Amino acid sequence: MNRSDRLDATFAALADPTRRAILARLALGETSVSELARPFAMSQPAISKHLKVLERAGLISSAQDAQRRPRRIEAKPLAEASGWLDGYREFWEASYERLDALLDELKTHRKNRAKSRR
């Protein structure tokens, strides 16, 4: 996958609340599938489906332990997605700071105009 495909896959995977909750749990450490399923009112196969989406997006992986196959979080694609959003934020933050100053000026103009009309 190239970077754009990865970002698409990441944001699509993150669009679901159950998958975000799974990631939040995995952020605390490796966890087995049955442990992951416990807090959700969901069958293990349903959870496995979500895990597959996360795995395909490269957001989680399975540890080598063949018996339990605990899942672990993969930080790199998440950091990439967050970096992408940071870029977007920076783009607009600079603009909006200038807009703050302009709006202050427009407000002052309006006040002065109202005063001089009185």
Smallest separation, CB 94 to other proteins (Å): 4
What CA–CA distance (Å, rounded) separates 101 from 84?
A: 27
Nearer to other proteins, 59 or 67 (CB): 59
How many residues touch other proteins under the rule CB under 8 A: the total is 46
**Contact flags string 72-111 toward other proteins, x per CB under 8 A:** -x-xx-xxxxxxxxxxxxxxxxxxxxxxxxxxx-xx--x-
Continuous segment of H or E residues that includes residue 2? none
Q: CA 55, CA 49: separation in Å to the nearest integer? A: 10
Instruction: Rule CB under 8 A: say whether 52 interacts with other proteins.
Output: no
Q: How far apart are CA 84 and CA 88, in angstroms?
A: 7
Phi, psi of 54 (to 5 degrees): -65, -40
Minimum CB distance to other proteins smaller for 23 or for 51: 23
- Other CB atoms within 10 Å distance of the CB of residue 58: 17
Residue 20's alpha-carbon distances to 17, 30, 44, 49, 50, in angstroms, are 5, 15, 17, 14, 10
Minimum CB–partner distance for residue 18 and other proteins (Å): 10
- Window 5-44: residues binding other proteins (CB under 8 A): 7-8, 11-12, 14-15, 17, 20, 23-24, 27
Which residue ranges make up the site for other proteins (CB under 8 A)? 3-4, 7-8, 11-12, 14-15, 17, 20, 23-24, 27, 73, 75-76, 78-104, 106-107, 110
